[in-house]
């Protein structure tokens, strides 16, 4: 029973010991990792220090070389000949710079003149276009006014023609009325019937009777016959009763003793 009770305790002790070994191993690994990173960091710092030292050495050597160059140039320029040469060189450079400036100014002036010429040409073109448009508008206005004048003249001529036509019709009507005034009632009504038949050769008796002022059927028939005879003689271009000497006494229609309006 004691041995059985001691077994779990031993197993637990071994487990604790194993756990401690694992923790110790992990701690050692962390320590080694940190040591490695520290070594890398030290190496990088050392490398950067070497680079900085090299750059510093280079800069120092360049500065020394520049100083030596400057000193040599100063020594060369110390002599009169070198100073004269330097002055001549400076004068030549100045002349060259002046010539370059002059050419630049001339080129700028040329460009400015070209731009001014182009602007003047554009302005002249716009002015010419404006003058052309103004002239076209003036011509259009004159044509419109001329058309209006022609229209007015045409209307005046038309009114004059209408007036002349009306006057002629009035004169013709007066002459016709004066000519008809020499005819009797039968002759006048015969011409009324002839006008109706000339307008409509198929006019019926009712139409003729209405034109004749409500004549009876027999009188309307007599007037039709008389009108057809008158038309056969050339009426209305030729009116035998107005172009020949009228017969004595009143005109009558055969078979009719009296005609009333």
DSSP 74-111: HHHHTSHHHHHHHHHHHHHHHHHHHHHHHHHHHHHHHH
In this structure, the chain runs to a length of 261
When pLDDT is cut at 50, 70 and 90, the band that residue 114 belongs to is very high
Task: Give the C-alpha separation, 221 to 58, whole Å.
Answer: 150
Structure-model confidence comparison of residues 91 and 114, the more confident one: 114
- In the block, tokens 């100014």 appear at 105
Q: Is the dihedral of CA 141, 146, 150, 153 positive or negative?
A: positive
Highest average pLDDT, of 16-25, 223-232, 249-258, comes from 223-232
Tell me which of 38-42, 43-47, 175-179, 238-242 is least confident.
175-179
Task: Give the C-alpha separation, 238 to 252, whole Å.
Answer: 20
Task: Give the C-alpha separation, 126 to 113, whole Å.
Answer: 20
Asked whether the predicted pLDDT for residue 236 surpasses 50, the reply is: yes
Query: Residue 73: what are its φ and ψ, rounded to 5°?
Result: -65, -40
DSSP run (H or E) holding 116: helix 80-180
What pLDDT does 99 receive? 92
Tell me which of 21-30, 171-180, 244-253 is least confident.
244-253
When pLDDT is cut at 50, 70 and 90, the band that residue 167 belongs to is very low
When pLDDT is cut at 50, 70 and 90, the band that residue 176 belongs to is low
Task: Give the C-alpha separation, 41 to 120, whole Å.
Answer: 77
CB of 221 closer than 8 Å to CB of 197: no
CA atoms lying within 13 Å on the CB side of residue 163: 6
What pLDDT does 160 receive? 59
Task: Give the C-alpha separation, 67 to 71, whole Å.
Answer: 6
What pLDDT does 254 receive? 41
Average pLDDT, the chain: 80
Task: Give the C-alpha separation, 14 to 158, whole Å.
Answer: 143
């Amino acid at each position: 029973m004691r041995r059985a009770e001691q077994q779990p305790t031993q197993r637990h002790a071994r487990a604790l010991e194993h756990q401690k070994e694992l923790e110790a191993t992990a701690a050692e690994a962390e320590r080694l990792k940190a040591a490695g990173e520290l070594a890398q960091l030290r190496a990088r710092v050392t490398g950067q220090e070497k680079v900085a030292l090299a750059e510093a050495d280079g800069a120092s050597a360049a500065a020394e070389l520049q100083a030596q160059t400057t000193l040599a140039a100063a020594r060369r320029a110390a002599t009169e000949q070198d100073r004269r040469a330097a002055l001549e060189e400076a004068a030549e450079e100045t002349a060259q710079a002046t010539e370059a400036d002059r050419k630049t100014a001339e080129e700028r002036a040329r460009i400015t003149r070209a731009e001014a010429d182009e602007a003047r040409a554009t302005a002249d073109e716009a002015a010419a276009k404006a003058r052309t448009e103004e002239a076209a508008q003036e011509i259009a206005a004159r044509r419109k006014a001329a058309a209006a004048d022609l229209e007015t003249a045409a209307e005046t001529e038309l009114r004059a023609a209408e007036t002349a036509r009306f006057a002629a019709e009035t004169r013709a009507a007066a002459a016709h009325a004066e000519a008809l005034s020499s005819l009797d009632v039968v002759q006048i009504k015969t011409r009324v019937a002839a006008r109706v038949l000339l307008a409509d050769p198929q006019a019926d008796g009712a139409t003729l009777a209405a034109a004749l002022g409500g004549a009876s059927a027999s009188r309307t028939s007599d007037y039709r016959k008389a009108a057809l005879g008158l038309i056969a003689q050339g009426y209305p271009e030729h009116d035998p009763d107005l172009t020949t000497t009228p017969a004595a006494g009143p005109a009558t229609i055969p078979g009719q003793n009296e005609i009333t309006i």
